Chain A
Amino acid sequence: MTEILALRDVHKSFGPIEVLHGVDFALAGGEVHALIGENGAGKSTIMKILGGFLEPTAGGVLLDGEPAPYRSGAEAEALGVVVIHQEFNLAQDLTVAENIYLGREIGGLFLNHKAMRKGAQDLLDQLESHVSPDARIRDLPVSDRQMVEIAKALSRNARVLIMDEPSAVLTHREVQILFRQIDRLRAAGVALLYTSHRLDEVSHIADRITVLRDGAVVRRAERGELTEDGMATAMVGRDLTDIFPPRRTEFGCVALELHDFAVPPLVEGISLSLRRGEVLGISGLVGSGRTELAEGLVGLRPHGGSVSRSGAPIRIRSVTDAAKHGIGYLTEDRKERGLLLEKSLRVNLTLPDLPRFGAPLLSRAKEEAALTQAIADFDIRAPERGMEVGNLSGGNQQKLLLAKTMLPDPEVVIIDEPTRGIDIGTKSQIYAFIDRLAREGRSVIVISSDMPEILGLSDRVLVMRQGRAAAVLEGDEITEHALVRAIMGTRERTTEDA
């Protein structure tokens, strides 16, 4: 097999901190190579170096055995080395088609909009995506943005395609479509690099696996050599037993009740009650209205119907109102809605509860103390306390977001995709954390596209389909089979499974 792109003894430092310590690594044509490791292990950094977006501090990048001649992402792309980034790299105000052809527009003096729209449509069709080429990125949900990002990469005719957690925001169905495209490219001799925290995906798609821990390669394996447990152990350096906490059995009185709740135009007629000490899972396809429901509930969207909190009717018109009633919400879109990427950890952490840190003057010392506490509680790994949040690894951003959501000490916590982009070791920490919240008598709503997560965490599951409650499962009814049936609706199920 021919080696196309390789790293030789690569070191990388950001300021005084070295994050890669001598990495050797090669990608061959016609195979899928998976790079796995904990949050902050250096996966994205390796991918950015391969793709020309970062320069190694020491060591070299080889393309076809020669020192790689590119010094920027654009130059690399011209040579067929294409990266799908973990952070979206789409222009928010341009349309889907404009983004796909950004920098390579068709047409001479005047743009050939028709050809570009058609090309974009073809690519999207290939991905079985329903997104319109004329839609603006800003208006799309994250999963659709990811599909556009993939379409854009596919349009580049890559020799090497580097994918940084492409599946993190995708549903099961979309992941299957992505895998079909990966199979097609592999057959065509493209070298593929893939990373994901979903180890089942890795064992399914990867021909070779490289395990990274703290910036160094700790294990290389061929297909079939490592089980999922073996991968997890290699990644975190210790055995992981059951990652889900045992089920809770004691519940308190009703903490939150929705009656005929609606978030126009999509969500309608949702009635549910949530007890203290309970974890309610909300499952459903992307677009089934789960996030809309949550955002309506915390006053981010206009809503109808009635809400009561511990028996008393309440009105929530803004996140501030929600916070007053002890309801906190963790958004699924951490880059655009969750964190101020240019600001420090401290500023992000304390934003939702600033009055606590002193009036009229804020106490820097108190803020720092809160950050120290959060770093300890949530095991946030930041190379530097003062760094911009945008430079944290994806998983550590997620942990910071969780810390931020919990800062005002809400009694009802709604968590939209709690473990998106989080490594398996941290996942089990977060599950334990959610369990602890419930045992303390709080109520937790977990919205997730991750089936095992819903199955492993929930005391009750609300399944949504097209904006309505399709089913509520409780106790022993919560099985994978029942869940899939409810999510798809019995009829569609056969086609989905095929």
Chain B
Amino acid sequence: MLKGRLSLSTLGPLAALLVLIALGAFLNSNFLSSGNITNVLARSAFIGMIAVGMTFVITSGGLDLSVGSMAAFIAGMMILAMNAMLPTLGIGVPLVLAGMAVALIVGVLAGLTNGLLVTRARIEPFIVTLGTMGIFRSLVTWLADGGTISLDFEARQFYRPVYYDGIFGITWPIITFALVAVAGQVAMRHTRFGRYCEAIGSNDKVARYSAVKVEWVRLMTYVMLGMLVGLATILYVPRLGSASGSTGVLWELEAIAAVIIGGTALKGGYGRVWGTVVGVLILSLIDNILNLADLVSPYLNGAIQGVIIVLAVVLQRGKSSAEGR
């Protein structure tokens, strides 16, 4: 069994990642420049943090379609709150910290809403989050009155370094993503919470009969995801300094795709956080390579990503049916 896990389905995504890196380096000499690598990693960071949270939700048998809209909504709320607090707090660290707190709180509340609807009202996660996806999206559009919510210009200047700066040339989003990924991997493999997620996704009845607080654990996966969306937003807002109805569109699909490519079972029961990280990198590399090399039109990006997703799932199924014999 262990051997089986180490084979195709485990190494598949990793091999694909290496092939992409080799391909990129071959096609464009700029590909391996630190500028480009930083660029790819920074773009991966937002989806990446969300996808790590999504891994837990999916592993425990859930799903969250609302994360893209949620990010837009959180960004809108955060900017509005910072603009409102500006006269009292003035421009400075307290304002930024207050904005961050707002983002995290809104994220947790949004996740809590999803989680409570799933666990308390016992509505299918697909339905719940399809609903909240629409709700968050339209709320932010409404808050922006159909346009864009912009952060005060000077506040934006002050907040900018959170996206662009870092230490040792590694920017904050990348550092945060790395920390989230490591923490997620440890949580999944070595803590009770991760074990419970896998048990619940594998068979929630068995988990309930084994004195696992099934509803609580499920609720926490959504709350944690909400918080990570908040965290991603905190790092995303300084990039543009604005939010609109089109912020974070399709992020949910990219996050889910990354999770699946990484080898987590969509039906739940088995989660692999480092796989998710690899999945995120694969998706952004494809995008990056298509933009750098004019082999294929960048407009075909979606098509290629789609092929990769289907391929990843087929590889996984090949493995499980071989084991089923």
Contact = CB atoms under 8 A, between A and B. Distances in A.
B202 interface: yes
B317 interface: no
A343 B191 contact: no
Interface string B207-243: 1111111000000000000000000000000000000
A352 B210 contact: yes
Contacts of A329: 209
A352 B211 contact: yes
Interface stretch (A57-65, A186-194, A334-342): A334-342
A221 to B, nearest CB: 34
A369 B213 CA distance: 25
Q: Which of A339, A359, A387, A388 has the most CB of B within 10 A?
A: A339
Nearest to B193: A360
Contacts of A106: none
B211 A362 contact: no
B120 interface: no
Contacts of B198: 343, 347
Given A347-B195, A360-B191, A386-B2, A342 B269 contact: yes
A308 interface: no
Given A319-B208, A351-B210, 16 more contacts: A54-B325, A318-B208, A318-B213, A331-B209, A337-B205, A338-B209, A339-B206, A340-B203, A340-B206, A342-B269, A343-B202, A354-B192, A354-B195, A359-B191, A361-B191, A408-B211
A355 B193 CA distance: 10
Contacts of B127: none
Interface of B: 1-2, 186, 190-192, 195-196, 198-199, 202-203, 205-213, 269-270, 325
B183 to A, nearest CB: 11
A341 B210 CA distance: 14
Given A362-B190, A386-B1, A336 B206 contact: yes
A336 B199 contact: no
Nearest to B212: A351
A352 B45 CA distance: 36
Interface string A350-374: 0111110001111010000000000
Given A361-B191, A362-B192, A322 B211 contact: yes
A351 B207 contact: yes
B264 to A, nearest CB: 14
The 5 closest A-B pairs by CB, nearest first: A319-B211, A352-B210, A351-B210, A323-B211, A340-B202
A339 B198 CA distance: 13
State the majority secondary structure of interface residues on B. Answer: helix
Contacts of A404: 210
A408 B195 CA distance: 17
A343 B209 contact: no
Interface of A: 54, 300, 318-320, 322-323, 329, 331, 336-344, 347, 351-355, 359-362, 364, 384, 386-388, 404, 408
A394 B54 CA distance: 36
Nearest to B1: A386
A323 B211 CA distance: 7
Contacts of B192: 354-355, 359-360, 362
Contact of B209 (A54, A300, A344, A353): A300
A386 B1 CA distance: 7
A352 B213 CA distance: 10
A344 B195 CA distance: 12
A300 B208 contact: yes
Contacts of A408: 211
A66 to B, nearest CB: 24
B199 A340 contact: yes
Contacts of B269: 340, 342
A387 B1 CA distance: 7
6 contacts: A320-B213, A338-B206, A343-B199, A354-B196, A355-B192, A362-B190
Nearest to B208: A319
A353 B239 CA distance: 46
Contacts of A331: 209
Nearest to A388: B1
Residue from A331, A347, A351 whose CB has the most chain B CB atoms within 10 Å: A351
Given A342-B202, A347-B195, A361-B190, A320 B209 contact: no
B210 A361 contact: no
Contacts of B195: 347, 351, 354, 362
A438 B267 CA distance: 42
B254 to A, nearest CB: 28
B190 A319 contact: no
Nearest to B207: A351
Contacts of A338: 206, 209
A329 B211 CA distance: 10
A188 to B, nearest CB: 33
Contacts of A300: 208-209
